[in-house]
Amino acid sequence: MVGRRRTRRGRLLMATAAPTHAPTLSRAVISPQTASTLRYVGRRLGTTVLTIVISAVILGLLWNLAIVLLHANPFIAKTPADVFNYLFVDSAKSKTTAAENRDVLAGLLGVTLGHAAIGFVFGVGASVVISVLFTLIRPIEFMFMPLAMLLRTVPLLAMAPVIFLVFGNGLVTAAFIGGVVVFFPLLVNLTLGFRSVSSQSVDLIKVYGGSRWTIMRKVAIPTALPYFFASMRIAVPGAITGAMLYEWLFTYEGLGAAITTAKSQSQYGQIWAIVVLITLVSILLYTVATFVETAVLAKWGPNAGKSTGK
């Protein structure tokens, strides 16, 4: 009898204890802070997408209106409707179908995005490393920042023969051309971001025996995040521009070279479709960069690394 009573008492304790833990587990899935962050990111993303859609509609209307008012030659100047028909409507007058046109552009876009990715990675990596060196070792900045700004003023077209002689026309050249476009905005903004750390935070780390590298990790890098992402929104479309410039100058691949080929063959529908495609892809990548920026800054805060003390 005593054993049965103990067993029943244990079952009752388990039955009464189980419901008290269930709500705790369900509430622990998403904390209020995480939910607030997700709502903030969703609002920012929705606002960005809505702004892009409205801007695209207005741009399309202005594009069509400009062609009408300027009485442009319809053989050369294509309207948004012409581009849509080129990509999605088969025509008896065309030698290729809309599906074939899309397949060609998709293949060319893949090549261009590959070149853009190479230049983007090279430019971002170089700018991060050099800006960190500039921040940790000030004499290096004093020696090389003026030289970097001087090189930035030289047009890439003027440097093209030298670049070809030094690097050839391979992927190294793609990395260099795209990297140059990405490198300089990131270098300047990151260096400025690293310099924006609060003196109170630096003094606090020094009091506890922290080194310059500790200051860089704990304060400077979080402080530079808004500057980094602001530059990334410019660098992502810039990498595509650098890739197309590389293709136009040094190779017969990708969308950059396709524009030259289409012009020589009077395929103006393809040229306008390429312009629209590159614009849409650049806007999409810009939106992705904005989304990543919003998500990261929602976690770290726009004033990460800065002291709030007076």
pLDDT at 152: 80
Sign for the CA dihedral angle at 92, 111, 294, 183 comes to negative
Percent of the chain with pLDDT over 90: 40
Helix (H) or strand (E) holding 181: helix 171-194
CA distance 138 to 145: 10
pLDDT at 147: 82
- Average pLDDT value over all residues in the chain: 83
The answer to whether residue 19 scores a pLDDT higher than 90 is no
* Per-residue tokens: 90: 């088969």
CA dihedral 231, 286, 83, 89 (to 10 degrees): 150
Residue 251 and residue 171 in contact, taking contact as beta carbons nearer than 8 Å: no
Ordered by start, the domain boundaries in the chain are: 105-302
The answer to whether residue 31 scores a pLDDT higher than 60 is yes
Question: 74-132, pLDDT tens digit by residue?
Answer: 899 999 999 999 999 988 788 889 999 999 999 999 999 999 999 999 999 999 999 99
| Cα–Cα nearest to 134, from 203, 220, 207 | 220
Residue 247 and residue 112 in contact, taking contact as beta carbons nearer than 8 Å: yes
* pTM score: 0.79
105-302: CATH class: mainly alpha
Question: 118-146, pLDDT tens digit by residue?
Answer: 999 999 999 999 999 998 888 888 888 88
CA distance 187 to 222: 16
pLDDT at 2: 47
Residue 308 and residue 230 in contact, taking contact as beta carbons nearer than 8 Å: no
CA separation (Å) from 257 to 158, 206, 279?
Answer: 19, 55, 17
Question: 145-202, pLDDT tens digit by residue?
Answer: 888 888 788 888 888 888 888 988 888 999 999 999 999 889 999 999 998 888 888 8
* Other residues' Cβ atoms within 10 Å of the Cβ of residue 99: 11
* Per-residue tokens: 178: 């795209």
